[in-house]
Amino acid sequence: MDECTYFMTEGWLKGERNIWKEYQYTIEKYGEDTGKEIFNMIIGNYKSLALLDTGCYDIVRIEEEVKNIAEVLKLRYKVLPGTIHYINKLLKGPWSDKEFLIIPPHSEIMNSDLALK
């Protein structure tokens, strides 16, 4: 069985609605015991918290904070290599129909267009 992993980057950590801010909000709103129970239901299937090392930021700056989040949420902490290859291709092209859904202008997107092939 595959392990469910919550992925984290520096950008996500700084975001307004990240997993840590949501946890703190839940604890503040419902109290520690009920808040933890609610949050455990929200993230119950996750087993680990992975910090993605894309090379776009210094992970050492946020590593201790992410480790702490993993510990509090009772998730295994790990660092995974990441890449921005797909984003570069998205911005620069060329766009192959094997990697991108290419819809001509003024076309309607159908549910069948979104199915994995």
Q: What is the pLDDT of residues 22-33, one digit of tens each?
A: 999 999 999 999
Predicted confidence at residue 115, as pLDDT, reads 74
pTM of the model: 0.72
Centroid of chain to Cα 43? 12
DSSP string computed for 43-95: HTTEEEEEEEE-SSS-THHHHHHHHHHHHHTT-EEEEEE---HHHHHHHH---
Q: What is the pLDDT of residue 1?
A: 43
CB 38 within 8 A of CB 30: yes
pLDDT digits 0-9 by tens, 87-97: 888 899 888 88
Which pLDDT tens digit goes with each residue over 34-86?
Answer: 999 999 999 999 999 999 998 889 999 999 999 999 999 999 999 999 888 88
Q: What is the pLDDT of residue 117?
A: 59
